[in-house]
Amino acid sequence: MTSAVFPARRTYVVPLPDHRELRLGERPLVMGILNVTPDSFAEAAPTRDPAVAVERALRMQEEGADIIDVGGESTRPGTEPVGGREELARVLPVVRALVKRIRVPLSVDTYRAEVARAVMVEGVSIINDISGLQYEPELADVVAASEAALVLMHTRGRSKAMYAESVYRDLVADVTAELEASLLAAAARGVVAGRVIVDPGVGFAKRPDDSYGVLARLPALAAALDRPVLVGPSRKSFMREALGGRAAPERDWGTAAAVTAAVLAGAHLVRVHAVGEMAQVVRVAEEIRKAGERATGLR
């Protein structure tokens, strides 16, 4: 038997508080990004109107999104944070309208305990914490009490200073160790390990070479952590030079390449802006991956 073309992707079942579950590993899932901020780095026309945001989310669902991730604060490098009250004012109207109309699970991209508490009462079943519990460790208490799923992303420092922290002795070993610390912090506060998804944080506290390195070495990271892996490369600045300096809204072709690499490397979920296009990319990349498994006798 020849060696594997692509690394094996482990399977997981992540329970959600509404008696649903995420079956991760059977195929890659697509998380659609729904920003409700005035300053999203990746969108030419940011969405602030709740009615427009709801329609956009419903369109993403029809285009193939398996999860909708609502964000009320831009976390691009260098941005100023908004307060929890302002974040809630942006997110809550959208969440309240969506839970009545959408079929797929809702996620909220927040690191604030007060925001997580408010949206989970409304029916959100996943919290996506870009800080890996570094900014507000008490977020884990709220998630544990609700039995929601939790995404822990790798980063270092706050948005304004994260690039100063992007010095690694061994990229994968360092990112893995720091995500393991986040997993331990979550467990210490009662979050069940089986409800946690990890995100290596492409573009966060990482120079372009580091972000490419994370994508290239994703199998090693996934094997070491033994948790489902989410990858979010969509329209990020690490690909700007390779794309000739294109602005973020014009980076979907580059995003397609990064999404393909993530799927072939074993990612369980990809987080993207252009859901319709990237859902097609995911499906074709997965067929290539399955062909590799058949060729090596893994299926």
Catalytic one of 235, 236, 251, 289: 236
**55 touches 36 (CB < 8 A):** no
Query: How far is the C-alpha of 74 from the C-alpha of 109, rounded, in Å?
Result: 10
Query: How far is the C-alpha of 94 from the C-alpha of 75, rounded, in Å?
Result: 19
DSSP 232-285: --TT-GGGTTTTTT--GGG-HHHHHHHHHHHHHTT-SEEEES-HHHHHHHHHHH
Catalytic one of 90, 195, 227, 271: 271
In the annotation, is 271 catalytic? yes
In the annotation, is 236 catalytic? yes
Burial class (CB in 10 A: 0-12, 13-18, 19+), 35: buried
Which 8-state DSSP code applies to residue 157? S
Using CA atoms in the order 276, 222, 143, 99, what is the torsion angle rounded to 10 degrees? 10
Residue 207 DSSP SS3: coil
CA-CA-CA-CA torsion sign (254, 255, 259, 262): positive
Which residue in this structure is represented by tokens 């006798």? 297
Residues noted as catalytic: 236, 271
